[in-house]
Structure formats: C-alpha cells, structure tokens
Structure 1
Amino acid sequence: MNGAASALALSLKVSLLATAIDLVLGVAVGYLLARTRFIGRDLLDSMLTLPMVMPPTVLGYYLLVLLGRHGAIGAWLRDSFGINLIFTWQGAVIAAAVVAFPLVFKPARAAFESIDQRVENAARVLGVSERALFFRVTLPLAWRGILAGVLLAFARAMGEFGATLMVAGSIPGRTQTLSIAVYEAVQAGQDDIANGLVLITSAVCIAVLLTAGRLAPGQAFRR
C-alpha cells in the first residue's frame, strides 16, 4: 500500500502542477485567439488542439525528441543549467501539461468569445484600462467556462499514461504515477492492488467531471 500511496501523491502533485501551467498558458492563448485576427490563426488553433486527438505515445515521442539529451530544448537545458527532464517527475509534469492543454485552451477561448463585446466597450468608455478590463470584467464573466476546462484538464492529467511513461518512465516512488502503477500491478498479477488504484482514479475523475458539468454544461468544447 505504500507504493499505492506514493503513486497517488505523485499523481496529485503532477496533475496540480500540470493544470496550473495549463491554466496560465491556456487562458493567455485562449484570450489571444478570441480577441485578435491574424493570418494562420485557425492553423495555430488546430495545432494547439492536436494533443486532444493525437495518440499519447506519439506526443511522448515528440517530447523525447525535444527534451532528450540531443533534443533542441533538452540539450540547451543540460548545457546551460545542468537540467535533465527525461525520467524525472518534472518530465511527467510537462507530458501531462501538453496532453491536457487543449482542455483548458478550448473552453477558455469559447468563454471569452461568448462575452458580449458591448460590455467591454462600455467599460472602456468609462476609462477602464485594458489590464483592469481583463481582470475586473472579462475574466469574471468567463470564469465558469475556464474553471470547467481546468477541472477537465486535471482529470485528464490524473489519467495520463502514454506520454508520461515514455518521458518519465516507471520508477517507483519517483516517476510512477497512478495510471502507470495500475499497469504495472496488472502486469505483475497484483489484481487487488490494481482494483484499489482503479477505484481511486475512477472516484476522483467522476467527481471532477460532475463538478465541471455543473459549472458549464455543454460549453467546454464549443469552438
């Protein structure tokens, strides 16, 4: 059971950090695409949505190419800061964040696009700065859709398997998340441990999905 508790604690840490990263980046990019028009906007939207439909193992391979010792980002991190992300829990965070990103980005963009522009224009007429407008008007109006996306992203990060296994591996106590622990338990014939881990994962994901559905029913995947 110590291994199960360790896997659960690591999964929660990885999921929370990955979701926090996606919250910042997803809201920023969602707002950018909702409020600006430029050449290639639809292409960028499609590329950012790719992790939602692309096989996780393919994403894991791309991350290995980028973050590995000979990858463009991995080599720079190693030579400049002595950082290695492969087979670390930090690598698991990056993998989970990449996979779950569209689940924050898409709802955030939809939430921003649903806001009546006349409300924001009225605030501008009253002399509200663009920064204050975002935090005092736009964000409060969009928060339900954004929060629903954040909850979905957290649930997705909790269940992430393929990309995480390729990038972080399965090192008990270090990189073995809950979903990977289930796989290892099944492979080892430890059905009692696998059943317990599956029940924990299912309970967390169901609770998150029920909460997301109450916050913004039918809004999460609107384009």
Structure 2
Amino acid sequence: MPIIHSLLIAFSATLTTFLIALPVAYYLLRRRTHFGWLLESLLLLPLVLPPTVVGLFLLQLFGKFGLGGRFLALFHNYSLIFTLSGATLATIIVVLPIMYQALKAALQSVDPNLIEAATVMGATPLETLRLVVVPNAYQGLIISLLLTFCRGLGEFGASLMVAGYIEGKTDTIATSIYFSIQGGDTQTALFLSGVNILIGVLALLLIHLLNQQIERRKQPL
C-alpha cells in the first residue's frame, strides 16, 4: 500500500502542478507585469521553507478550527487532515516551485522568433502555446514532469504533518521507511528504499536521454 499511495500522490501532484504552472509560466514570460515578481515569489516560496512549515500552515488552515477546515466541514463533515487528499495537497505545494522553474526553463528554450511569427500570423496566445511552444519544448516539459514526480514520490515532512501515518490509509514510501526504522523493521525500510531508488534511476536515465536530444537539436546542421 505505501508504494501505491506514493504513486497516486506523486502522479496527482505532478498533473495538478503542471496544469497550474504551465499557463502561469507562459503568461509571465510573455507579459512583463508589475506584479509578476510577486506571483513568482509566491510560487517559489515553498522552495525556501522547510516542508514542516508548509505542513504546519496547512494544519492551521485546514484543521478543525481553520478557515478551510470549517468550510470543508460543511460538506458532510469532510476533512483533509489524516487523508491521502491532504497528503496530496501538501505535496502539490511542496513540488509546485520545482515544476514552475523547470517549465520556465523549458519555455525559455523555444526560439522567440517562432513565437513572434505565430503572433504575426494571428495566432492567439493559447494557439501559440499549443501549436508552437509545446511541440518545440516537449523534451523540457517531460523533464519537468519527471523531476516533479520523483520529488513528489519522496515527499515526507509536509505530508506527514497533514496526513500523519496511518497504516493502510495514509502511509507512503517515505513515511513507511521512517516508521519501519523506528520499529526496527530494517528489511521493509530497505525494500521501500530500493523501490524509490529504482524509480529515481529510471527517471534520471530518461532525463539524460532527453537532454541528449535537446543538445543534438541545438547543434548546427
């Protein structure tokens, strides 16, 4: 169950942050607004905070007496605390800066002349993103997804603060390793660590292959 839980959380967090960060990064790169730095700072803030601080903030917000917690309680007394949904939300916030930075770098790699040509030909920003930017930056986009997924797979501090460790309900690879060691079950901890390492190595291998494609594309014919 810890492996399944971690995969579900990492996949959900990766998809959500991609849908959030892609349009924001694209908008901030195309338009230099006075408040762009503020929005970018908010997106990057979790990167400079300990995950436990992020978890504490979510506990205060979505706990029993928090504003978000009281609002969710209106819906059949629903709560994010001690649930996989809570762990997913915590992971989303922690990995969002990684996704944003990686996507920003991928979008910046696209030749500005291509974007300008599409604009001159009458393409809307959405059409330019879909037909010009994404096809020319797909390797970088995949790398962004892989990096975010791997980081989400190993999230520990924030998700533990929000979801706790309930065996069979909110246990993840990272929390199970920690509590297995605490309980003296080294074999389980080593097995879960091996699974995590294997996934990470496969992701890094794929990232290496994608980077090679990017370098070959940059070389003059």
User: TM-score w.r.t. structure 2 length?
Assistant: 0.89
Distance 2:108 2:150 in 1: 25
Deviation at 1:82, TM superposition (A): 3.7
Deviation at 1:192, TM superposition (A): 1.0
CA contact (8 A) 1:108 1:142 kept: no
Q: Deviations over 1:135-182 (max 9, x none)?
A: 111121222222111111100111000001000010011100011000
Matches within 5 A, 1:200-215: 200-215=195-210
Deviation at 1:7, TM superposition (A): 0.7
Matches within 5 A, 1:148-163: 148-163=143-158
Note the aligned Cα RMSD (angstroms). Answer: 1.8
Deviation at 1:210, TM superposition (A): 2.5
> Does residue 1:96 correspond to 2:91, yes or no?
yes
The amino acid of 1:33's aligned partner reads L
Residues 128, 28 of structure 1: CA spacing in aligned structure 2 closer, same or farther, 3 A cutoff?
A: closer
> Does residue 1:128 correspond to 2:123, yes or no?
yes
> Does residue 1:47 correspond to 2:42, yes or no?
yes
Identity of aligned residues (%): 35
> Where does residue 85 of structure 1 map in the other structure?
80
The amino acid of 1:143's aligned partner reads Y
SS where residue 163 of structure 1 aligns?
A: helix
Deviation at 1:121, TM superposition (A): 2.0
Deviation above 4 Å: which 4+ runs of structure 1? none
Matches within 5 A, 1:121-200: 121-200=116-195
CA contact (8 A) 1:33 1:109 kept: no
SS where residue 82 of structure 2 aligns?
A: coil
> Where does residue 3 of structure 1 map in the other structure?
none
User: TM-score w.r.t. structure 1 length?
Assistant: 0.89
Of 61, 69, 72, the residue aligned with 1:66 is 61
Distance 1:162 1:74 in 2: 20
Q: Deviations over 1:49-87 (max 9, x none)?
A: 122231111111111112212222222222256421110
Gaps of 5+ in 2: 215-221
Gaps of 5+ in 1: 1-5
SS where residue 192 of structure 1 aligns?
A: helix
> Does residue 1:106 correspond to 2:104, yes or no?
no
> Does residue 1:16 correspond to 2:11, yes or no?
yes
User: Aligned pairs, how many?
Assistant: 213
SS where residue 137 of structure 2 aligns?
A: helix
Distance 1:38 1:124 in 2: 19
Distance 1:83 1:143 in 2: 39
Moved more, 92-101 or 105-114: 105-114
